[in-house]
Amino acid sequence: MLYLNPPEDLADELPGEPGFRVAQLHEWLYDHPTESTGQWSNFPKTLRDRLSTRLWPFTVEIEQTADRGTTVKWLFRTPDGVSIETVLMGYPNRVTLCVSSQAGCAMACTFCATGQFGFDRHLEAGEIVAQVAFANAFIRAGRMSGVPGRNEAQPSRVTNVVFMGMGEPLANYRRVRESLRRMNEVMGIGARSITVSTVGVVPGIRLLADEPWQVGLAISLHAADDALRSKLVPLNERYPLAEVEAAAAYYFEKKGRRVSIEWTMMNGVNDSQDQAGKLAEIALRLGAHVNLINLNPTPLSSERPSHNRTLQRFKSTLEHRGVTATKRETRGQEIDAACGQLRVRASN
């Protein structure tokens, strides 16, 4: 599979071919990807045909669009049968891709659809990078609404990547690190436009802090005391809040970049004024921005989203304490985007 080979080793894929051909292949894979090798106009047909089944390391099982075509969600299937979810979101001046770093997840957070279905395997660096390349090919083919031609402000490729799809990226550190390197150094995506989201894998946060790239860090906190957090996020037993906070502070110190805190709002669970007050203290100590995401209900959990007025009150409490907070707009709700739910549907 072409994307599973490191970009520096592409000559292995073209035995007996001249060096310029290797350079052309590199361009087709990383600079201007296409949905099929049929569009590789500078390649002889025999070579295009030979490589056609080696292009993508997965097939498209489901492709759905929402929000008038500006949100696209894919469920990919790998040859060994695991699924990968990816969501593309177009905004007026940026295009964000939400990528998966593992097939399934071992973290078992109670409210997360992926966690409810367990862990299949780590994704290879090339499988993570191929999600970005596939989205670029899709946009280049003119298949996303609001792309240039129709809206000149919107970029014609993925500009931002968030590791908020399936999996815990820092539990797959080595491969995620290599995918970051390829996105940044080979595909030219600015490190500052990439965000790694973690549920609090403390050693991974510290390793990432020591890497050279100014990648953003999001901490999925969801609760501001250990008793509640351990109920929602089992990993909290291993890395309690104080350790997560210390690692986040180290990240901020090393990168000079504010971290953000993700907080999934659940009715009657973590949307109290008491939690808002405790969260404000943590956020102030870290200088962190808070993103509030109202729960997308999942089939195996009885939790419900917070009422709108409770969410607004929670947000006001943070703001009154001097914390900046935003309510994350949810994309693609009618297509079950963003929380492992497409896979839930596919397995029904």
Q: State the catalytic residues.
A: 85, 339
Q: Distance between CA atoms of 90 and 96, rounded to whole angstroms?
A: 6
Contact 73, 332 (CB under 8 A): yes
Segment (H or E) for 202: helix 202-209
Site string for ligand SAH, 37-66 (x = CB under 6 A): ------------------------------
In angstroms, what is the minimal distance from the CB of 111 to ligand SAH?
5
CA distance 199 to 108: 11
Q: Looking at 7, 339, 342, 343, which residue binds ligand SAH (CB under 6 A)?
A: 339
User: Would you call 136 exposed, middle or buried from its count of C-beta atoms within 10 A (0-12, 13-18, 19+)?
Assistant: buried
Q: Which region among 76-84, 117-125, 195-203, 206-214 touches ligand SAH (by CB under 6 A)? A: 195-203
Q: Tally DSSP H helices, then E strands, for the chain.
A: 11, 12
C-beta closer to ligand SAH: residue 260 or 317? 260
Part of the chain binding ligand SAH (CB under 6 A), chosen from 70-78, 120-128, 196-204, 237-245: 196-204
Query: CA 90 to CA 249: how far, in whole Å?
Result: 32
> What track of x and - describes contact with ligand SAH for positions 108 through 127 (by CB under 6 A)?
---xxx--------------
98 vs 125, beta carbon nearer ligand SAH? 98
State the virtual CA torsion across 78, 79, 82, 85 in degrees, nearest 10: 10
- How far apart are alpha carbons 138 and 131 in whole angstroms? 11
Query: Least distance (Å) from ligand SAH to the CB of residue 304?
Result: 11
Site string (205-224) toward ligand SAH, x via CB under 6 A: ---------------x----
Is residue 271 a contact residue for ligand SAH (CB under 6 A)?
no
- At 90 the three-state DSSP class reads strand
Which 8-state DSSP code applies to residue 63? E
Q: For residue 198, state whether it binds ligand SAH (rule: CB under 6 A).
A: yes
Q: For ligand SAH, give the closer residue by CB, 112 or 139.
A: 112
Size of the site for ligand SAH (CB under 6 A): 16
Compare residues 136 and 198 and give the one whose CB is closer to ligand SAH. 198
- The Cα 35–Cα 68 span in angstroms is 22
Binding flag, residue 168, ligand SAH (CB under 6 A): yes
**Structure-token pair, residue 296:** 């997308």
- Contacts of residues 37-42 at CB distance under 8 Å and 24 or more positions apart, as own/partner, are none
Question: Closest approach of Cβ 41 to ligand SAH, in Å?
Answer: 39
Q: Position of tokens 């996105």?
A: 183
Neighbours of 270 (CB within 10 A): 27
Asked if 179 is part of the footprint of ligand SAH (rule: CB under 6 A), the reply reads: no
The interface region with ligand SAH, picked from 72-80, 235-243, 282-290, 291-299 by CB under 6 A, is 291-299
Q: How far apart are CA 4 and CA 240, in angstroms?
A: 36
Confirm or reject binding of residue 314 to ligand SAH (CB under 6 A): no
Q: β-strand 59-66 against 71-77: which pairing, if any?
A: antiparallel
Please identify which residue in 124, 127, 245, 262 interacts with ligand SAH, judged by CB under 6 A.
262
Residues contributing to the site for ligand SAH (CB under 6 A): 111-113, 164, 168, 197-199, 220, 262, 264, 293, 295-296, 298, 339
